[in-house]
Amino acid sequence: MSKQIQPNLFGSQKFQKKLSVAIRLVIAVFLILFAIFPVLWIISASFDNSNSLATQSLIPAQAGLKNYQRLFNMDPNFAFSDLSYWRWLFNSVKVSGISTLLSLALTTMAAYAFSRLRFAGRVTLLKAILLIQVFPNLLALIAIYVIIFQFGEIIPALGLNTHAGLIMVYLGGSMGMNIWLMKGFLDTIPRAIDESGMVDGASNFQIFWGLLLPLLRPILVVIGILSFIGTYGDFILARILLTDVNQYTLMVGLQIFTAGQFDKKWGVFAAGALLGALPVMITYLTLQDQIAGGLTAGAVKE
């Protein structure tokens, strides 16, 4: 008489599947809490009227809108007559928007040349662009400052404490990887489109503008958002090249509230940082489908 074998509970496929799902849920919840906790802490600090991180808690005991009133100079006891949050926000959006548009224009034309045209030194230039990106930008801070200072002596509109000079620096720093991203996307577009345009007598610029550019919308959105966020959140370059408080971008302006040795206004800083994140968040929510499509469309070459 054969002995009946009892099924192993821990070895069954059903139990392993449930265990796998449970582990994934635990990891997902942990990662969500890990990612959202700093945001909740900033929100709590912005509504904490005690204006101190030493006694800060997730649910503030002295909740209110005083930090926002101080930020917008609506509190007479904490008025900053020479500071303007809206001016800083406008400066950030202006600098980031202009540098993003110009970067997209230059990057797209350069990537088209590297992808579609054949000329001497093409591969060498691509390798040089990639090699330059290996070195940290911090290594060039002194050189950038000297260059912009000397530019200002010749053309004051491009010198220190000007948004045009800052935009020029941002354009130089954003070209490298953006050209490679754009070129990778262009390589996936069949050359038959170019050939059909040539048969009809179109020039290279007409092919680029009329046939290829509409197909580049996903990667244009991705590069545009990356460029906008990179310049919008920059602090070091803006802090070095801008000296007038009215020319400050948002990140440099908010630093004033935490620069005092014995009078750090952390609550006001948190309120300004929270409101300053809204343009980026709205941009992400509006263009999230285009972002996902642009990041994956150029990943595999057909």
**Domain-wise residue ranges, the chain:** 13-78, 85-297
On the question of pLDDT at 120 being above 70, the answer is yes
DSSP label at residue 208:
I
Cα(30)–Cα(230) distance, integer angstroms: 28
236: which 2 tokens? 């070091």
Q: Is the pLDDT of residue 255 over 50?
A: yes
- Report yes or no: 175 and 114 within 8 Å, Cβ to Cβ: no
How many helices (H) and strands (E) the chain has is answered by 14, 0
pLDDT at 249: 93
Mean pLDDT of 165-193: 86
* C-alpha distance across the termini of the chain, in Å: 63
User: Mean pLDDT over residues 265-289, rounded?
Assistant: 85
pLDDT at residue 146, rounded to an integer? 92
User: pLDDT class for 97, splitting at 50, 70, 90?
Assistant: very high
The pLDDT value recorded for residue 127 is 86
Q: CB of 71 within 8 A of CB of 88?
A: no
User: Which pLDDT tens digit goes with each residue over 221-244?
Assistant: 888 888 898 899 899 999 999 988
The mean of the pLDDT values for the chain is: 82
CA distances 240 to 149, 234, 265, Å, are 11, 11, 23
* More confident call, 68 vs 249: 249
What pLDDT is attached to residue 71? Answer: 83
Percent of the chain with pLDDT over 90: 22
CA 293 to chain centre: 18
pLDDT at 222: 85
From the list 184, 189, 228, the residue with the least C-alpha distance to 207 is 189
82 or 97, higher pLDDT = 97
pLDDT digits (tens, 9 = 90+) for 130-178: 888 777 777 888 889 999 999 899 998 888 999 999 999 998 877 778 8
CB atoms within 10 A of CB 227: 24
Q: What is the mean pLDDT of residues 36-41?
A: 88
Cα atoms in the Cβ-side hemisphere of radius 13 Å centred on 210: 13
Residue 4 backbone class (left: φ over 0; alpha: ψ -120 to 50; beta: rest): beta
Q: Which residue has the tokens 């008489």?
A: 1
**pLDDT band, very low/low/confident/very high, at 90 (cuts 50, 70, 90):** very high
Q: Comparing 132 with 79, which gets the higher pLDDT?
A: 132
Q: If you average pLDDT over residues 65-84, what whole number do you get?
A: 70
CATH topology of domain 85-297: MetI-like fold (1.10.3720)
What tokens were used for 130? 């990639």
State the Cα torsion 21-24-25-26 to the nearest 10°: 120
Confidence of residue 302 (pLDDT cuts 50, 70, 90): very low
In 9-84, alpha helices (H)? 13-46, 66-71
